[in-house]
Structure 1
Amino acid sequence: MAARPLDARALAALAANPGCRRRALLDGAGVDKGAVAEALGSPAPFGQSQFAFARGNAFEARVKADGGRALLGLVREHRGAPGGAPGGAAARVPDLAAAGPEGRVARTALALREATRAAADEGAWTLLDHPLLALDVAGSPAYLEPDAVVVDPGGRWTVVEIKSFPVIDGSADAAKVGAAARQSAVYVLALERVALRTEDARTGDRALLVCPKDFSNLPTGSVVDVRKQLAVTRRQLDRLTRIEEIADALPEGASFDVSGRSGEELSAAVEALPAAYAPECLAACELAFHCRQRARGAGLVESLGRSVRGDLGGLTTAAAVLAAARGEAGHPTKSEAKRS
């Protein structure tokens, strides 16, 4: 079957839950987890509403209007970049069109090199609108498309992530900001690979998050430190390169082909892969509802959250916790586990 390509959201979700061997293998193999969840009877209601999609596109268009002057102003304000281009000229906005993803990746790398030279020679600003980057994941390329990359007159490359959730009185939803930081870290990591082959390139470990200010459609920016997310993403990608070790633990003949297996066979293949479920998975993984159902059915404390699971240590089930609370020695019986 054709592999489902990885994108920045999928890689960011992997970084958020690096201990989940189930997701590591399925994403590394390009399995359509949405189709698997549907076949298992636990579909995930993913997807953005048409209203939210249109609002996000309108806000992004506003931020990038007039040659991206508003966006460049935010970069200059929050990243401490040097002044604008000579004579107040508009930023360079190169054409990144090319045939196929490989062509677009090559064209983006060329545009970044040209922008770095233009910054050194002319002090020019360059705005790359929806460039395409590639990152090697488990031996195959994952194609990533950030909202924008800005090269300032100092030659520094800044990833720009544009989101439609608001910043009200200087603060935004922490979960959404965290997700944006993890996604930006994936882009920064991919940029670092290009920078290694570009003379005088500078990437750094900061990204610019642009959101609507308060209840208006005016853009405001904030710098996001992605050092922690970068480190986690690097570790997870190192694990994905050893995906064969996880696959070796699968029983002979295991398959995730939804059209060629019964529900029981598909469920057995999924359950052969250890999962690390947490309530946060519900917003990031198509299999989360299936994993939650199994965790609850087995009375696992991980269904209550990572903090609870961490605090309880070796007590992995609700029955074991209740037995310990009552001062009972040994493991609870099956009837006790069922009642808990």
Structure 2
Amino acid sequence: MRQRLTELRGPGVRPRSLDARALAALAANPGCRRRALLDGAGIDKGALAQALGSPAAYGQSQFAIVRGHAFEAKVTSDGGTELLRLLHERLAPGTPPPVPDEVATPDLSAAGPEGRTARTALALREATAAGGWALLQHPMLAVEVAGSPAYVEPDAVVVHPDGSWTVVEIKSFPMIDGAADAAKVGAAARQAAVYVLALEPVAGQVGAYTGREVTVRDRVLLVCPKDFSNLPTAAAVDVRKQLATTRRQLTRLTRVEEIAGALPEGTTFDLRLGDDGKTATRPPDELAEAVEAVGAAYAPECLAACELAFHCRKRSREEGAVETLGRGVRGELGGLRTVAEVLAAAGPEAPEPPVTPGGPDDPAVGALRRAAALRAEVLARAVVPGPRAEEPGCP
């Protein structure tokens, strides 16, 4: 299977790592076989979209990235003293506060993601067995996605003296008057849920080894700048809902080997980069044929989460698919799959040719015809504009 994924990427192309943000987006659309395969194979979807002529138009600016790194460095400086103070204040107010000099900060460096994952598991085991506070900065965790391992890296994980672990998310968006943008907090919660999910099997192994009850807390610490300053503040975020959703959706993903096994022989997403290592030399038509060999499940929400969304939207519009109107509309239309079918269903009784698959008795067809009749009635009763000011008879 590993050889097949290497063929899909192309010779000499290193797999692209799958972060928690991408995992959360993948879990939000488990029916998309295209994204499951491309992410599972470690293919750079951004470069692929660029070569297809539909580059992604979103992403953080360089300024935001630099600002985020600077804020995280401030929060975790001095051995994470300020971070631990905020965590104790928000999540463990009734316990003795951590003493900075007694907080363990293990070195997690190792070769490769597999080595870093093993080193993280060892550090968590040692810190839990010691029974004190520990701060692990940028640990590496593994989570299975469609039958393949994906490696994710939370900002920090704190080990409590009671054996519980807390995920820490550090974001650069502000928390004004104790509240942050709801959409951004929701995205952070979904991302943190992936980290909690990845920690759970490690907690089970550590608990069996140490003989202690080890739990991963379902309330994570979100650290943000306070108001309009660069001073950190924090809030506890309950991720139980996001955790349950992510766990359920990831189990629904079709395994990568099943998707890859159904592809035509010789299918590859190799861009054939030129001498500069950046410019794709493979014809876009060949790439588009390879991409279309894998089924997609496009929805407007993909525009904010997937690099291939603009390509998929273009194809969906060309096919007249109702998915371009949103999942809610798609669900209401039942068996009607294209805009042409919907327009035909809204027409007179017994349209020619007959609507497929629904007929006049189809509930969706009936609802469309009632809506079309109401629209026609409203247009017929539209008020005719009165005479303009320059016309005779106007006061």
In the superposition, the TM-score normalised over structure 2's length comes to 0.75
Contact kept, 8 Å, 1:116 with 1:155, in 2: the verdict is yes
Q: Letter of the aligned partner of 2:331 in structure 1?
A: G
Q: Which residue of 1 aligns with 2:152?
A: 144
Question: Is 1:23 equivalent to 2:47 in the alignment?
Answer: no
Q: Counterpart in 2 of 1:94?
A: 106
- The CA deviation at 1:14 is 0.6
In the alignment, which of 194, 206, 230 is matched to residue 198 of structure 1? 206
The offset of 1:162, in angstroms, is: 0.7
Pick closer, same or farther for the CA change 1:183–1:321 going to 2, 3 Å.
same
Range 258-267 or range 54-63, more displaced: 258-267
List aligned pairs for 1:208-287, cutoff 5 A.
208-240=221-253, 242-259=255-272, 262-287=283-308
The residue identity in structure 2 corresponding to 1:95 is: D
Please list the CA deviations of residues 104-158 of structure 1 after superposition, one character each: whole Å capped at 9, or x if unmatched: 2222112111211222xxxx32111111112233454322111000112222100
Distance 2:228 2:322 in 1: 40
Matched, 1:331 2:352: no
* 1:153 maps to 2:177: no
Worse-superposed segment, 289-298 or 45-54: 45-54
Give 5+ residue unaligned stretches, structure 2.
1-9, 273-280, 357-395
1:282-327 residue CA offsets vs partner (Å, 9 max, x unmatched): 2221101101111222222322322332333333333333333334
Correspondence list, 1:44-123, <5 A: 44-80=56-92, 82-85=95-98, 89-119=101-131
Q: Which moved more, 1:245-254 or 1:57-66?
A: 245-254
The residue number in structure 1 matching 2:26 is 14
User: Greater CA deviation, 169-178 or 55-64?
Assistant: 169-178
- How far apart, in 2, do the equivalents of 1:218 and 1:307 lie? 41
The answer on whether the counterparts of 1:15 and 1:229 sit within 8 Å (CA) in structure 2 is no
CA, structure 1 residues 327+212, in 2 after alignment: closer, same or farther (shift >3 Å)? farther
Check whether the contact 2:145–2:253 (CA below 8 A) recurs between aligned residues: yes
Does the 8 A contact of 1:16 with 1:182 survive in 2? no
State whether residues 15 and 182 of structure 1, in contact with CA within 8 Å, keep that contact through their aligned partners in structure 2: no
Which segment is superposed worse, 56-65 or 283-292?
A: 56-65
Q: Which residue of 1 aligns with 2:135?
A: 127
8 A contact 2:147–2:255 mirrored in 1: no
Equivalent in 315, 331, 335 of residue 314 of structure 1: 335
The 1:309–1:172 alpha-carbon spacing in structure 2 relative to 1, beyond 3 Å, is: farther
Paired residue secondary structure (1:198): helix
> In structure 2, do the counterparts of structure 1 residues 306 and 83 end up closer, same or farther at CA, with 3 Å as the change threshold?
farther
Q: Are the aligned partners of 2:30 and 2:250 in contact in 1 as well (CA < 8 Å)?
A: no
Number of matched residues? 327
Letter in 2 for 1:315: L
Relative to structure 2, which stretch is displaced further, 156-165 or 38-47?
Answer: 38-47
Check if 1:5 corresponds to 2:20.
Answer: no
Which runs of no fewer than 5 residues in structure 1 stay unpaired? 333-340
Equivalent residues of 1:21, 1:275 under 8 A apart = yes
How far, CA to CA, are the matches of 1:38 and 1:22 in structure 2? 17
Match of 1:336?
none
- The correspondence of residues 283-298 of structure 1 with structure 2, limited to 5 A, is 283-298=304-319
Q: Distance in 1 between matches of 2:331 and 2:101?
A: 55
Q: Can you list the C-alpha shifts for 1:187-238, whole angstroms capped at 9, x where unaligned?
A: 1111112111102221132222211222222222222232333333334443
Q: TM-score, length-normalised on structure 1? A: 0.87
Measure the CA separation in 1 of the matches of 2:79 and 2:38: 41
Identity of aligned residues (%): 70
